Amino acid sequence: MFAMIIRETGGPDVFEYTELETPAPAAGEVLIRVAYAGVNPADWKNRQGYLEQYRTYIFPYVIGFDAAGVVAATGEGVTQFAEGDRVFTPTNHGQGGQGSYAEYTLAAVDRVARVPAGLDLKEAAALPVAALTAWQGLFDRGALQAGQVAMIHGGSGGVGSFAVQFARWAGARVAATCSTANVEYLRGLGVERVIDYQNEDIACALADWARGGLDCLMDAVGVSTLPNALDLVKSGGTLISIPTLVDDGDIPTAAAEAADRGVKRIYSTMEDINCAETLEKIADLVIHGEIRLPPIRAFALRNVAEVHRILQSGHNRGKMVLQVTG
C-alpha cells in the first residue's frame, strides 16, 4: 500500500510518500481502504514528537486518527460489516496502531460506524475525533442539560463548531468566543451570544449575558488563552478542558482549585465511550439538518506538509481532510 510516513519527528517537511506492507485485520478488527483521512490538531503535535509521553514511536510511522472509506477485509468474529461497506472511524492510531495517512488502515470493530445515505465520505472523515470529543465532553462527562447556560471557548474550530451545535441541540443557551473573522459563522450556527475576543472582554460580555455565571464552560483552545476560566463558572457548574497535549499546566492542582470553588473540572479527550453508536447518532443529526458540518477543505495526500503548516498556525476554521483514494 502507499502511505505518507515519517522516519523521525520534526517539522512538516519530515513527511515522505512511500510503499508499506498492507496490514491484515486481527480478530475483531476491520481493514479499511481509506478514501479521506481527517486532520486534527493532535496530528501536528504527534508529528512533532509531543505525544511521546502517551505512545511509543515506531518508525516508519503513519499519522492519522480519522478515516472514512470502504471495508476491504474483516477479522475473525466481525459480522457487522462486509467488504465494500462505507464506514468511518477513529482508527486504531490512538491505541498505538498505524494511522490513516495511508491507503489502508485498521480499526477495532466497536469504533467503526456505517456511513449513512446522504453523507459522503469526505464529510464523514470530518466527524470522528472532533465530533466525538465535543459530544463526550459535553454529555458523557459534562452531563449538559436542557436549559443550562453554556459557553464554548474557541467556537469556530473543529471541536468548537460541533460543541456549539450539540449544546444548542440539547436545549442549552449557548455563547461562544471567536475572532472577528468568525463572528458571522458562529451566528449562522445559532449561537445566542457570540463574543469577539479581539474586540470584547470575555468576562464583561458574560457578566451581561449570564448574570449568575455559567453552568458549563468548554475550553476547546487551551488553558493559557482563558486563565480566568474558573471565575466564569458558577458554583455547582462544570469546566471542561480539552487538553492541548503540549502545555496543560498542573492538572491535579487545577482540579483541586476548582473543587474548592464548587466547580467540577474535567479534562476530556476522545475515548472509547460508545464510539460507533455515538458516531451513528451524530451522522443522523447531520443528514436530518440538526447539525451543520463545518467548512471542509480537501487536500491531496501528497500535500500533507502544507496542511500541517496551516493546522499548526492555529488559524484554521472548520475542518481539513486529506484525499487518499477518494
Judge whether residue 315 has pLDDT over 70: no
Report residue 223's pLDDT band, with 50, 70 and 90 as the boundaries: low
Judge whether residue 227 has pLDDT over 80: no
User: pLDDT per residue over 175-188, tens digit each?
Assistant: 999 999 999 999 99
Q: Look over the chain and give the mean of its residue pLDDT values, rounded to a whole number.
A: 93
Determine the average pLDDT of the residues in 274-279.
Answer: 95
Helix (H, G, I), strand (E, B) or coil at 296: strand
> Looking at the domain 130-267, which fold is it?
Rossmann fold (3.40.50)
Report residue 221's pLDDT band, with 50, 70 and 90 as the boundaries: confident
**pLDDT, position 267:** 80
Judge whether residue 253 has pLDDT over 90: no
- Maximum average pLDDT range among 53-57, 133-137, 251-255: 133-137
Domains 2-127+293-323 and 130-267 share a fold: no
User: pLDDT per residue over 50-105, tens digit each?
Assistant: 988 888 999 999 999 999 999 999 999 999 999 999 999 999 998 899 999 999 99
276 phi and psi, to 5 degrees?
A: -60, -45
Report residue 245's pLDDT band, with 50, 70 and 90 as the boundaries: low
Q: Are 220 and 242 in contact (CB under 8 A)?
A: yes
Judge whether residue 128 has pLDDT over 80: yes
- Please state, for a pLDDT cut of 70, what percent of the chain lies above it: 96
Report residue 2's pLDDT band, with 50, 70 and 90 as the boundaries: very high
**pLDDT, position 318:** 75
Angle, helix 275-287 to helix 128-135, in steps of 10 degrees: 100
**pLDDT, position 79:** 97
Global confidence as pTM: 0.94
Give the residue extent of every domain in the chain. 2-127+293-323, 130-267
Pick the CATH number of 2-127+293-323 from 3.40.50.300, 3.30.930.10, 3.30.379.10, 3.90.180.10: 3.90.180.10
Q: Are 161 and 320 in contact (CB under 8 A)?
A: no
Q: Are 150 and 174 in contact (CB under 8 A)?
A: yes
The separation between the first and the last C-alpha atoms of the chain, rounded to the nearest angstrom, is 15
Report residue 249's pLDDT band, with 50, 70 and 90 as the boundaries: low
